[in-house]
Structure 1
Amino acid sequence: MGKKGVLLVNLGSPDSTEVKDVRRYLDEFLMDERVIDIPYWKRYLLIKGIILNTRPKKSAAAYKKIWWKEGSPLVVISERFTEKLKKKVDLPIALGMRYGSMSIENALNELKQQGVSEVFLIPLYPHYAMSSFETVVEKAKDLLKASFKEMSLTVQPAFYDDPDYIRVMSENLKDQLEGFEYDHILFSYHGIPERHIYKGDPTGTHCKLDGSCCETSSEAHKTCYRHQCFETTKAMVKELGLKEGTYRNSFQSRLLKDPWLKPYTDHELEAMPEQGIKKLAVITPAFVADCLETLEEIAMEGKEEFLQFGGEDFKHIACLNENEAWVAVVQNWIEEWQSN
């Protein structure tokens, strides 16, 4: 038996808020065929010809609003989380990012130098989507095949309904709601194009994006992002005993003009005050660490939008980040794998 080690992977971040660094990062991210899944030549023209000439400047300005003195919040939080985990687990642990200079390849090299040949990969995404969970796993597999042939890989499945994950998410929400009089909770998940749902359906017929397919048992649910998001909300609602009518789901972060999963978070934020919802808490369960999509898009832009349309009070619920209970959950997964 070989030596065991753990590889944690999150999304990634530009090296700085300079436009050139943001452009380089977006180039790698958006050229990923699992993120923008159109033929290569079309993707090349769209990304290199249009998006990279306009978006980096806007994105750099957004990153500047949330950047910490130590660097990117996503990276800094992920590093702190990894350090806490290292103190609890007696195994080599390396942190990699799917995009950017903190690459998965660098992390694998780090494990290799420590003599690791059996790798436990934990994609830090609770839900399965081709543009997040799947691209991490496939990238790791490609790297092993090409450069780390002596290594084997075990993957932690998407943990959207893991009872321990649900428990710590619910506790985190409860703790942060203390002292905040809310009349509604919005579960805002990262959006994906609707076509990704159809593409990820192994049956080819189950997913219809209607009111019933996510509720009807199917093999398709193992790779259905929409179903898994709804299941997370359902499990948390049950855990917390939330009343019907005091919460809802939405999807944020659209790109391009294709139809994405609905309802859209920004539309919900605009409509809620008119519906009598004046004091809102927003939680983002698709993320385990705060990042651009939570700190800028929700805590800043979302709040501004909600208040502008007549809302009175708004609370962004911070992600699990380096929460001790969350560290303990991942520790348990590692120890279970280690003992097998």
Structure 2
Amino acid sequence: MKGVLLVNLGSPDSTKPKDVKKYLDEFLMDPRVIDVPRWARILLVRGIILNTRPKQSAKAYQKIWWEEGSPLIVLSERLKNKVQDNVTIPVALAMRYGSMTLKKGIQELVDQGVTEIKTIPLYPQFAMATTETIDVKVDELVTEFFPQVTITRTPAFYNKPGYVEVLSKSIGESLKGLDYDHILFSYHGVPERHIRKSDITNGNCKMNGKCCFKMGSPQHEFCYRHQCEITTVNVAKKLGLERGTYSTTFQSRLGFDPWLQPYTDRTIERMGKAGTKKLVVVTPAFVSDCLETLEEIAMEGQEIFHEVGGEEFTTIPCLNDRDDFAELLSKWIDEWRIVDIKTAIA
């Protein structure tokens, strides 16, 4: 029997510093998030970051927390419920970090008789710190606890026509009747070394932004930067945006190593100082609105923009639990579900 596991990032159980600290410890101690030797990761995370960051992050979470709980969790659950209503096989939801564990999600499906699971990471673009860490953790759990289960992975869907259509439609609806000077497509940042580590061609990636646009290169299957850039290009083309009215940036850097550039916060500041008065920001690396979109962009980004002379700052919601997005995921699930049936008939 087949089943589907939707997977998102995760969230603290509450806005209390102790819950935030527990969540950050699991998240930042992941070797695919902070990819340094374990001793160095322990020193950095448990010796430095967790002594200061939890209180700061707790205050940020308090700004965006909903009555029902974490926005990311609530929105993910709504999406899961809509998908389940559209398909005939079991659908479960899990988080890579936090109390809604991958193990619990797999167990929920196994308890319903599922032996073949399609994992769908809710990340349009592949990254070592998102999709890859989910794949690795799922493999570990299956080997240790669920040897009877087989896993089918879902590739990055950043360039699939259905996704581009739904994303473009959601952005277009928000732009309708809106007067703006520029649109920033802001993606979550990653260290440049993550891009190099994911380069299956062993050095073909030049990290100069040019190879991102040379179509057909094999490393693009796992190149986060390429997939972000092409997401912007595809949506801009779909919406008929003029060159110069939009650009791609990266947010949420940590530490002192070089991360993907240009940085979102510095770009917002620069554009405001340069005379941009009406700025729109969309965050296509996130399927669900979360701390990074609701606080870092919608609050901190707006504050930066207004401080340097900007006037109107608009953030466009993520896909969240849009009906057309739920229908798209359901379509992909149905296509996977009927493969064996078609094979049997043939």
Q: Which residue pairs with 2:343 in the alignment?
A: none
Matched position secondary structure for 2:140: helix
Q: Which residue pairs with 2:46 in the alignment?
A: 48
In structure 1, which of residues 133, 136, 141 is the aligned counterpart of residue 134 of structure 2? 136
Kindly provide the CA deviation profile for residues 240-272 of structure 1, in whole angstroms up to 9, marking residues without a partner as x: 010001000000001111110000000000011
- Mapped to 2, the partners of 1:242 and 1:276 lie a distance apart of 20
Q: TM-score, normalised by structure 2?
A: 0.97
Q: Which residue pairs with 2:299 in the alignment?
A: 300
- Mapped to 1, the partners of 2:227 and 2:31 lie a distance apart of 22
Q: Which residue pairs with 1:68 in the alignment?
A: 66
Contact 1:206/1:218 (<8 A) preserved: no
Matched position secondary structure for 2:47: helix
Matched position secondary structure for 1:116: coil
- Mapped to 2, the partners of 1:282 and 1:336 lie a distance apart of 33
- Mapped to 1, the partners of 2:177 and 2:45 lie a distance apart of 45
Matches within 5 A, 1:194-233: 194-216=192-214, 217-233=216-232
- Mapped to 2, the partners of 1:142 and 1:158 lie a distance apart of 21
Deviation of residue 45 (structure 1)?
1.1
Deviation of residue 177 (structure 1)?
1.5
- Mapped to 1, the partners of 2:170 and 2:296 lie a distance apart of 20
Q: Gapped runs of 5+ residues in structure 1?
A: none
Query: Is it true that 1:166 corresponds to 2:190 in the alignment?
Result: no
Deviation of residue 205 (structure 1)?
1.4
When structure 1 is superposed on structure 2, of 119-128 and 274-283 the one drifting more is: 274-283
Matched position secondary structure for 2:260: coil
Deviation of residue 29 (structure 1)?
0.2
Matched position secondary structure for 1:111: helix
Amino acid at match of 1:320: L
Q: Which residue pairs with 2:108 in the alignment?
A: 110
Deviation of residue 178 (structure 1)?
2.2
Q: TM-score, normalised by structure 1?
A: 0.98
- Mapped to 2, the partners of 1:330 and 1:41 lie a distance apart of 40
Q: Which residue pairs with 2:12 in the alignment?
A: 14
Contact 2:275/2:309 (<8 A) preserved: no
When structure 1 is superposed on structure 2, of 110-119 and 176-185 the one drifting more is: 176-185
- Mapped to 2, the partners of 1:207 and 1:198 lie a distance apart of 7
Amino acid at match of 1:294: T
- Mapped to 1, the partners of 2:303 and 2:226 lie a distance apart of 30
Deviation of residue 137 (structure 1)?
1.1
Deviation of residue 276 (structure 1)?
3.0
Deviation of residue 179 (structure 1)?
2.8
Amino acid at match of 2:338: S
Q: Which residue pairs with 1:190 in the alignment?
A: 188
Q: Gapped runs of 5+ residues in structure 2?
A: 340-346
Q: Which residue pairs with 2:268 in the alignment?
A: 269
- Mapped to 2, the partners of 1:148 and 1:159 lie a distance apart of 27
Amino acid at match of 2:14: S
- Mapped to 1, the partners of 2:212 and 2:172 lie a distance apart of 27
Kindly provide the CA deviation profile for residues 259-313 of structure 1, in whole angstroms up to 9, marking residues without a partner as x: 1000000000001123332101100000000000000000111011111111110
Percent identity over the alignment is 57
Matched position secondary structure for 2:46: helix
Matched pairs, number: 338
Contact 1:8/1:96 (<8 A) preserved: yes
Contact 2:94/2:104 (<8 A) preserved: yes
Deviation of residue 43 (structure 1)?
0.4
Q: Which residue pairs with 1:312 in the alignment?
A: 311
- Mapped to 1, the partners of 2:185 and 2:168 lie a distance apart of 12
Matched position secondary structure for 2:115: strand
Matched position secondary structure for 2:211: coil
